[in-house]
Structures are given as structure tokens and as C-alpha cells.
Chain A
Amino acid sequence: MPRKDPVTGKLKWYKSEGAVAVYSALISILIGMAVGAVIVIIVGLSKSNISSSGIVEGIKLVFLGVFSTGRDSAGQLVFGFNGVNMGNMLFRAVPLIMTGLSVAIAFKTGLFNIGAAGQYLMGTMGTLSVGLWLGWTGCPKAIAWLCAFLVGVLLGALWGAIPGIFKAFLNINEVITCIMTNWIAANLVTWWFDAHEMFKISAEGGKVGYIIPLKNVGVVTPKLLMDKLFAGSQANGGFWIAVLIAIAMWIMMTKTTFGYELRACGANRHAAKYAGINDKKNIILSMAIAGALAAAGASLYFLSGNTEFYWSTYQKLPAEGFNGIPVALLAANHPIGVIFSGIFMSMLNISGIQLKYLTAYNEYIADIIIAVIVYLSAFSMLIKMMLSKRIKHDHGNVNAEPAVSAAPADDAEAPAEIVKKETKKGGQK
């Protein structure tokens, strides 16, 4: 028999499903970083301009980049607590957490939201335009902030709802519609800013092609202690907002009837329909929520005030949109887990930047690590199964039964029915 808690009948916490998910995430991370390190070594050995100490430095930065404090006078890498790095890590984690939540919530409803990039852009457009416009009209900053945030979120929700509608009513795979809406959004946003000169930094401003940052009109997110904790960094209260939203999403998905319905639709649309759940409505709502979350990421990022948006984006989709996928996968789509995986992804980005400035390597090594992690998460089931086997290898009973649904009914029924009788006998003893 499995080692269950005699009182609650549950497995010990460190053997629970959640714990296994954490182990498999950690394994993915380790393998991903190891692959990064191997590439650093191989490239280092093949390039004449990288010495063996350069390779060692590269590997150190891959794993500990966020603790880097630059080079000392002797040219050696120095590590320690770096408030600026730490703060920037949390600041950059905000859009990743939000797009990660976006992908995760859609996943829970059985949808693959690869459209976070477009939703993010729509949020960017809404927030920047409304923020600047209200800022100029002189309306109270707090109200301007709120309006800018809400309009961004709303636009994202609408944009997310489009693939949802295609899926619900026409049963068109959301992946393909998401990709199309991404590129439509990219062109739409570029078109909007192309047509509205007033939002752009003027030629005298020096930065051609960028939108005026919101700090110029004073519509910015308050720091909420972040400036005290990480002086000199870009971190602000947006991080706390993201954390709150993540917690709210967790409560929504696990504690409410709405979340119960969403997950039912994701797990088995037919059964949900049978139970009287409006599957079409839930699919659209789920995608709208996903879109809102992705857009909220953009809103919070640009409401920090000093981030500038390169508006001619029609050929390039924002990386934040796609990086939401690994964030969600790494967290096994758990909203709270997304907070941590978002911070981790952000940390990798910081490490990449350190690599770029401190060594002959470049920041793309971080992207390779992230891609490897996604690849591994594709067979996270396998890792989880191996871990579960190790943990529960002494389960010899009903729990270890083969999944009935996966096999043709008759073959699988054979074992299942016999087990039933055996447990019956066991129960009577």
C-alpha cells in the first residue's frame, strides 16, 4: 500500500502531485542550463578569441548572472547581491508573469494561447495612447493610470476573444487563428501609431521611432516600497499587482464554480456540455481572460513610465508574448507557480545581458536555455511518470491501474473489472 497519511488518507506533501511537478520543473531547469553551459564550452573551445578562463566565466554567468556585480579592477568577475539586477529582474518579470498567466489559464481550459504577443501589443497600444492622452488633458493622474490600464486590458480581452470565437463557433484550431491575429495586431498597432504623430518622440528628442514614455505625463505606477528594497532599479509596484492578479487567478480557477466550469470545458468539452455548461461561452471567456492578462502585462510594463515602445513593430512580435509559454509550462499552469517561473525566466534574461556585456558571448544563450526548457516540458509527463514511479513504486493496486479511457474499452475493461472484484474481496476481509 502507498504510504498515506493515516488521518487524511493523502500522500505526504513531498510526494504529492504538486511536489512532483516542482521536481520535474527543477529537472527541466537544470538540464536547460546544462545545455547552455555545454554550448558555452563548445563555442569557447572552437573560437580562438575565447580563453579557457573566458569559458569558465561564461558558465558562471549562465548560472549566477543575476548576482554579478561586474568586474573588479583586476578584471575578475565579482559576484554578490546586486540590488539593481534584482530589482530589474522583478521589473522584467512582470510582463512574463502576466503572459505566463495568460497562457496558463487558456491551457487549463484546453486552449493553447499562442496569441499572447498580439494581445500584448493591443494592450500596449491602448495603455500608451490613453495614458498619454489623459495625461495631456490634465485629468487626475490616478484616474488616468486606471483608465490607461483598463483600456489596455480591455483591448487585450477583445483581441483574445477573437480566436475564442473562431474556436467556439467554427471549431477552428486556436493556434492558427492566434498566429494570424498576432500579425494583424502587429500591423494594426503600427498603423495606429504611424497615423498619430502626437504619440511619437519628435525628431529633436533624439530617439526616432519610439513612443513618448508615460513618465513625461506623470502617469506612472507608484513604487510601493520597491525603490527602498532595490534602489536604482526599475522595479515598481507593478510587481505586487502582478502577484495579486496571480493569486486572484488561482482562487478563480480552484475555488469558484466559474473555475470549475472552465476546467471542465478544458478537460472534456463534451462532458461539460452534457452537464449543462455553456462550452462556447466558456471558451470565449477563457480566451478573453487570457487576452486581458497578456495585455495587463504590457500595461504594467509601460505604466512603469520609463519604458519606451518602438512603434514600427509590424515585422516583429514582442518576445514577451512567446515567453509566456515557457513560463506557464514550467509552472505546470499553476497560477502561483507562474510567479516563480516568471521570475526565473526574467533571471535568465538578466544573465544573458551580463553575458553580453561582460564576455564574448551574447544574450541569445538565455533564449536557447528557455527553448530547451520548453522542449523538455513537452515530455514533462515522462519525467513526472518516472518520478512518480520512484515515489509510488510500491503501489500494487487500483491506483496503478492502466488508464481505462486511453485503451479500447474491451481490452482495458478486462483488467479493470477483475481488479474491482479483487478489491471487493480485500475489503471484506
Chain B
Amino acid sequence: MSEYVIEMNHIRKEFPGIVANDDITLQLRKGEIHALLGENGAGKSTLMSVLFGLYQPEAGDIKKDGKVVKINNPNDATALGIGMVHQHFKLIDVFTVLDNIILGAETTGALGFLKKKEAREKVLALSEKYGLKVDVDAKVEDITVGMQQRVEILKMLYRDNEILIFDEPTAVLTPQEIDELMEIMKGVAKEGKSILFITHKLNEIMAVSDRVTVLRKGKYVGTVNTKETNKQELSNMMVGRPVQLELKKKPAKPGETILKVEGLTVPSKIHKNNAVNNVSFDVRAGEILCIAGIDGNGQTELIFGLTGLEKATAGKVTLCGKDISKASIKQRALAGMSHIPEDRHKHGLVLSYTLEQNLVLQKYKEPRFQNHGFIKFDEVREYAEQLIEDFDVRSGQGPITVTRSMSGGNQQKAIIAREIDRDEPLLIAVQPTRGLDVGAIEHIHNQIVAERDKGHAVLLVSLELEEVMGLSDRILVIYEGEIVGEVDPKKTTPEELGLYMSGAKRQGKEGN
């Protein structure tokens, strides 16, 4: 018997124009929790896709228990006992939990009729054994994200998988759910199953893993024992240079109130309760106010309510002294609001438009760019070229590049260029660094701080605790659509924030 259940030796995977995996080796011992660490774009997902049979490597081999195997598709992977909890869950929303678990591994009777009774018993037994509480008859769309993840884990256990891959499993969980997951992972490993844990969060690696393999820009950096390393060393390995975790910024000099929100209430599209319930706060000139919280606690709806993308049912919003509670999206923008949206593909860009057309998306009606309804193309081009240069937006053909063909980082830069250049008193930035690498993140953070220093008010929504702590001057925590606490980033700790974010701690109403 080999020491390793799975070995991936010298894997190379190319995509047109780039090498996503370049000579990567990963060895997984039986019964260990092995973390795979790397930035966005380091090649973690590609490597796992190779292991799961979604991609074929150009070079290198995969060994199971010391024997070379060929994994052509997910079926082969399943046959080898490899299962994966994907970052974006692979669940059928309208099916029940039980149907989701058995889908693809059904037991049937005559004429292909489903036999669900045995399946149900097996699922219940597994659920009991590993402490994975699920409601087998509920529809997936009705259960919490945490339970959905447990369904994904049960799917793997139901198939008797020996090697479990967890792809960024904690991004959507509350701190409590994260702790629970860690316990489950340890329990599963104790049963002799091997776990590959993909992440970029150092705390979790330190908490749960036995060994860590680090990737950077598609290349193998090294494998270390968790006990023999520390967070600083790991982060240096991950980024390739000493990382400055603290952002340099001058103390804030808050001025007059720019945005005043009183009792804002926005209904939910998913459930019957309000997604945002009676929320009040101010943002002042020259400060960065951050809304922190676990994903799905009303942040999206709060911003939609503020920007007019969705109708608020109650509350008053005042921007620069002007009541904009009933104003249209356009009127709000003109009243002094710029907005870097959460979803850059859905809201931020018209992907089939060219870069220059996207750069004037908020401005095409200004007299500079149109004359009696006819677009002044020369002016648009000139303006676009200016922005592209000022904000270092890189693309294949400059202003006439179709934005769909641009990289994510440059798409985001284009949006930020457009919104910051509007020079409005209020900048709303929702998860402005999501999915970007460290270089781009630093660039964007500096621009947000520069906005603040210009005397603009910044309202930041972020899910990343580090970003929240590093960038903001004041933090509001949102939980289930309500502001549950206001803290000073210089005085608080991640642990305290976590308590607020999970609803375990709550300030009295008088604070707001």
C-alpha cells in the first residue's frame, strides 16, 4: 500500500494563452485533512477540476493508492470514491433534500421506478452518525445555506466516497456554522476518510488542517505541516512577497452628514419577512462606513433600497439634504450618489457593449456626450481614453474592446473608474474586491481611501472581515435585516464582530 490515497504528480493544464496549472504535485494521506491554499486565480479550482475529471491535464498523472488512474469524467471520479462539495452548491432547488441526495445514485425497482424507502433510511443513518442535521423532506430552496451544505456532504457520504473535496466551504457560513463544519470535517477524517480543503482563509487552515499545499499563479510553492508553520509564513508563500496586512491610511476627518437613512424597510423577494427592517444610520463626509455581516442578511436589499433598484416600503433617505426616498434611480444618481454594484456582470456592465460605451453608462445623457439625442462619439472616445489611462484599465483593443472579453479585474477597474470619476459626494461600494487577486485588491483599496480623503462619504459593504477591519472608519453590523451593532474598528476584535454577525450579541436600540 502506498502512503497516499491520492497523488497528483506534475500536473500541467493549459487554457488558450495561459498555463493554469504548471507542474503541480499534491499528495493526500489517508485520514488527513489537507488544505490547498492559494489566491483567487492561483489554479486551485483548475487542479480540483482535473482531479474530478472535469478537465484533462496536458501532463502529469494521478495515482489512487499508488496505482495510476485515468479520470475522464465525474463518473470515473465517483467510481474511485472521490466526491466534491462545490463552492456553488450543485443542488436542484425544487427537489427535496432526499431527492437531491439520491439523484445520480438511485436505487430502483421494476421498470425503473424509484425506491426511496431504503434510501431514506440510509440517509437518516448517515445523518445520525456524522451529526449532519437535515430535513429530508424539505425542498432545498426552503432550507438554510448551512443545511444545504450538509446536504452536499451527505451526498458524498451516501455514495461512500473516501476522498472528500471541500471547495471554499466557509464563504457562505456564519462563524458558528463554520465551527460546526470544522467539527464535522474532523469527525469524517476520524472515520478514515481523507479531506482536501480548498481555501484562502488562514485561520481555518490553522484550526483544522494537518498539512497545507500552497499554490501561486498556477505554480507549486510547497507543502508544509500545519503544526510547523504560522499564518505569516503561509501568507508570504501564497502571495510571493511579504504581505502588509494593514492598510496605510490617515485618520478620518468626518465632516457634515452626506447620507441620512431613517427607518428604511425593504421587503424580501425570497421570504415573507422584510429583508431590511427599520434600518437607520448616517454616513458623513470624509469617512468610510462599513456594513459588515454574513452574506444574505439584507446587505444586497439595503443597497437596492438606497439606490432605488428596489422599492422601499417605509423609511426616509436623505442625500446631501435632499429627500430622495421616492426618487427614481436616475434622480438619486444625479442627487450625488455613485454606486459600485455587487454583481459586476449583472448590474455593473453591459457585457456586449464596448468599454467606451460602458464607461459612459451613467453619463451618456450629459450635454458633453450628446446633442439633441445624438451621441457625440468623438467626445465619448476622448473621455474613455482618458479614464483608461488614469485608472490603468487594461484591455485588448482599448476603448472599442467588448467588455465581455476583458478579465474580471479589469472589468472591475472599469466600473470603479466610471463611478469614482463621477466625483459624487457619496460612493457606495458593494464587495468591490470580490474575486480579485491581492494586487488588484490593494489598488482598489487605495482608491477608496483616496475618495475618502477627498472629502467624500463612502458606504462600503463587505463580507471579508479583514477588509472590514482594515478599510473602514466605522462599522455597522447587519444581522437578519437589522443593524445590531456599531463598533470602532480600532477598538474591536474579529471575535466581537463575529458575535454581532451571528446575532449572538446585540447593542441596545438607543445606539442608533
Contact = CB atoms under 8 A, between A and B. Distances in A.
Direct contact of A and B (CB under 8 A): yes
Given A401-B17, A413-B40, A276 B404 contact: no
A403 B357 contact: no
A74 interface: no
B41 A268 contact: no
Contact of A415 (B18, B352, B365): B18
A264 B347 CA distance: 11
B16 interface: yes
Interface in A397-429: 397-405, 408-424, 427
A274 interface: yes
Contacts of B474: none
Contact of B407 (A260, A268, A274, A404): A404
A127 B440 CA distance: 61
Given A275-B362, A396-B17, A400-B17, A405 B404 contact: yes
A306 interface: no
Contacts of B362: 275-276
* Residue of B19, B361, B436, B437 most packed against chain A (CB within 10 A): B361
Contact of A271 (B15, B361, B400, B407): B361
A273 interface: yes
Nearest to B307: A274
B404 A403 contact: yes
A257 B365 contact: yes
A420 B435 contact: no
Interface string B338-353: 0101010111111111
A283 interface: no
Interface string B389-424: 000001111101100111111110000000000000
Chain A, interface size category, equals 35 or more
Contact of A272 (B40, B350, B440): B350
Contacts of B87: 410
B404 A424 contact: no
Contacts of A277: 330
Nearest to A274: B347
Contact of B409 (A260, A270, A420, A422): A420
* Residue of B348, B350, B353, B361 most packed against chain A (CB within 10 A): B350
Interface stretch (B138-146, B253-261, B311-319, B367-375): B367-375
A416 B407 contact: yes
Contacts of A263: 353
Interface in B38-83: 40-43, 45-46, 49
A228 interface: no
A257 B375 contact: yes
Interface in A134-173: none
A75 interface: no
B457 interface: no
B349 A271 contact: yes
Contacts of B350: 264, 267-268, 271-272
A263 B330 CA distance: 18
Nearest to B41: A417
Interface residues of B, number: 64
A273 B329 contact: yes
A332 to B, nearest CB: 13
B357 A404 contact: no
A404 B406 contact: yes
Contacts of A264: 350, 353, 361
Nearest to B346: A270
Interface in A242-269: 255-258, 260, 263-264, 267-268
A251 to B, nearest CB: 8
A128 to B, nearest CB: 34
B20 interface: yes
Interface string A345-373: 00000000000000000000000000000
B408 A409 contact: yes
Contacts of A410: 40, 45, 87, 168, 435
Nearest to A417: B41
Given A257-B364, A260-B357, A414-B45, A419 B407 contact: yes
A9 interface: yes
Given A260-B364, A276-B329, A418-B217, 16 more contacts: A260-B357, A267-B352, A270-B346, A271-B347, A401-B405, A401-B407, A403-B404, A404-B407, A404-B408, A410-B45, A411-B45, A411-B46, A411-B49, A416-B41, A416-B409, A420-B407
12 contacts: A260-B375, A270-B343, A270-B347, A271-B350, A273-B329, A276-B362, A278-B328, A404-B411, A414-B218, A422-B17, A422-B18, A423-B394
Give 9 closest A-B pairs by Cβ, nearest first.
Answer: A276-B330, A417-B41, A416-B407, A398-B396, A274-B347, A276-B329, A420-B407, A267-B352, A275-B361
